A and B are shown apart, each in its own frame.
Chain A
């Protein structure tokens, strides 16, 4: 983005709503970083709003940090640290004497003390989104005596101090960004107006800061090809033992791919297989013990001679996720083109098996698409619970015994977590659920935290398990208690929990926990929320396209089907 484009983006008239506020903490003149940051943030906001970037005083990073953290409510904070913030001797504009025989230990102690002061305000990183960038400007050559390409001892000490500071910040929930790989410094401008960075670097830095501040919803599932992708060789021709993914067979990039898939599966990403092959050799190869991705993590496996886009469609149905949440990876450009044409919503990526650098690039791109900030209990359960859902649906669809007896036999147990503040899983579920979603409204983290802090706000996170095993936290209701009315603003449930009447049990628990005369649903039809519409019709009758739906709590209770769910745990703040 050019500076002029950034200015135009920032000045575009606001559609509605309050501006999105963010504090930008720097010790230098924030000039163009302020503009680029506002522009990139605006492009990433879920709802178009203007962005207000507040800045502080020149040369006072510590004071700016204190003020931003302690005086700005829930507004997120961007901190851009530079060497000069640590000590004027490390800066290019600042004037500081280089004393002969300077005591290096005392000098480093001074810097360490300053960093220690900043640790305290950054300790709120788990309650407030803080994004930190680390120094990128070169150190002046009168510091530390680096020469002939050898890193000086002082520089090593400084790197260690800053690294330790960043590690502590990261442990407290602060998001530390990776360095931008572009020339950063523009000395003439830095001296002229106090802003140190080149425009190209500033654009890239602001883009990265905004991306970490407002991350996109991660993709949910990846479908991989097998031959020349998961392994080198053609399993139908070479046999199960004739395909490879190791260094000895010049096939290590396929090992990378397997390790990468294993890591994705470990964080809860769904991994499926679409291969044009006979199933027998595929099953035999996937049964090999030295496979680097556990074969039980691959589900479902579509191995036959039908079109791959048909396989991907079926996999999407089993996973119950939208095609736009899926990525398909194959080494064959023809297959990639065919899927792109038939299913343009799916991100189709060519696996460049003969180009290790290309594979590294693909892995980096996919890492971004599938990145999650934290791995929760549910993530490890996802594939297992999808398999369970298929089993449950098969059992419930069976002829004997009666459907009510089968529901009763599930042994369903629901756990309600009413603690405040709600954990990150609540917002994650609200923002990524499409099908069982009351209105499709997404929340930015700062708004969510602000709303949760209101006295009338109520949030319930529901966990579930039955005799098939735990599903983890699968539903969230965010409501406001307004007199005798419980106004439900968000209600989402994971598709893994479908077909077990959990949605009705959720309402039953809610009415018990938060007694009221009337319930109001903030309903809006979206392209994909048919499943919750079906549930609501059973409860309240015909639905408008959007608007508030009111129903008395008594009628709602009457309209619930028979439930066999024990609500044996309610977690509340002490």
Chain B
């Protein structure tokens, strides 16, 4: 079933799980600066959730750059 869904859709599911109060329309525009609650715990949860969803390991040296939905999307595409 996952194969039929786009990477963005699946990534959006991960973000929605970590930020349940965020309106769905805003998920793809999220950045660390603009999102209350995007702290180190949320980031670690996002990383783990994304790795689990896509069955991959994101390189730890890239963690500091993961500050937006777009950054996650780029890294997932590169790592897959």
Residue positions of A touching B, CB distance < 8 A: 2-4, 7-8, 11, 31-32, 35, 188-189, 191-193, 195, 199
Contacts and interface: CB of A to CB of B under 8 A. Distances in A.
Interface string B12-23: 011001101000
Residue with the highest number of chain B CB atoms closer than 10 Å, among A4, A32, A189 = A4
B20 A35 contact: no
A192 to B, nearest CB: 5
19 contacts: A3-B17, A3-B49, A4-B17, A7-B17, A7-B20, A7-B45, A8-B17, A8-B20, A11-B17, A11-B20, A31-B41, A32-B44, A32-B45, A32-B48, A188-B57, A188-B60, A191-B60, A192-B60, A192-B63
Contact of B45 (A2, A11, A35): A35
Interface of B: 13-14, 17-18, 20, 40-41, 44-45, 48-49, 52-53, 57, 60, 63
A2 B52 contact: yes
Given A4-B49, A4-B52, A31 B44 contact: yes
Nearest to A192: B60
Contacts of B49: 2-4, 7
Contacts of A7: 17-18, 20, 45, 49
A463 B42 CA distance: 54
Contacts of A188: 57, 60
A11 B16 CA distance: 11
Contacts of B44: 31-32, 189, 192-193, 195
A187 to B, nearest CB: 10
A128 B60 CA distance: 41
Contacts of A192: 44, 60, 63
B40 to A, nearest CB: 7
Contacts of A4: 13-14, 17, 49, 52-53
Q: Which 4 A-B pairs have the closest CB atoms?
A: A7-B17, A193-B44, A4-B17, A11-B20
A517 B52 CA distance: 63
Given A4-B52, A199-B52, A31 B45 contact: yes
Contacts, number: 43
A513 B45 CA distance: 56
Contacts of A32: 44-45, 48
A2 B50 CA distance: 11
Contacts of A11: 17, 20
A405 to B, nearest CB: 69
Nearest to A6: B17
A374 to B, nearest CB: 39
Of the listed residues B14, B41, B48, B52, the one surrounded by the most CB atoms of chain A closer than 10 A to its CB is B48
B60 A199 contact: no
Contacts of B40: 193
B18 A199 contact: no
A191 B60 CA distance: 10
B41 A3 contact: no
Contacts of B52: 2-4, 199
Contacts of B17: 3-4, 7-8, 11
Nearest to A5: B17
A191 B14 CA distance: 23
Contacts of A193: 40, 44
A2 B55 CA distance: 11
**Which of B14, B41, B60 counts the most chain A CB atoms within 10 A?**
B41
Contacts of A191: 60
Nearest to A8: B17
Given A7-B17, A188-B60, A199 B48 contact: yes
A14 to B, nearest CB: 13
Nearest to B13: A4
A277 to B, nearest CB: 50
Q: Which of A7, A31, A191, A192 has the most CB of B within 10 A?
A: A7
Contacts of A35: 45
Given A2-B49, A3-B17, 10 more contacts: A7-B17, A7-B45, A7-B49, A8-B20, A32-B48, A189-B44, A192-B44, A192-B60, A193-B44, A199-B48
Residue of B13, B40, B44, B57 contacting most chain A CB atoms (<10 Å): B44
A87 to B, nearest CB: 26
A4 B44 CA distance: 13
A35 B63 CA distance: 21
A3 B45 contact: yes
Contacts of A2: 49, 52-53
A189 to B, nearest CB: 8
A195 B48 CA distance: 11
A78 to B, nearest CB: 19
A189 B48 CA distance: 9
Nearest to B57: A188
Contacts of B63: 192
A201 to B, nearest CB: 12
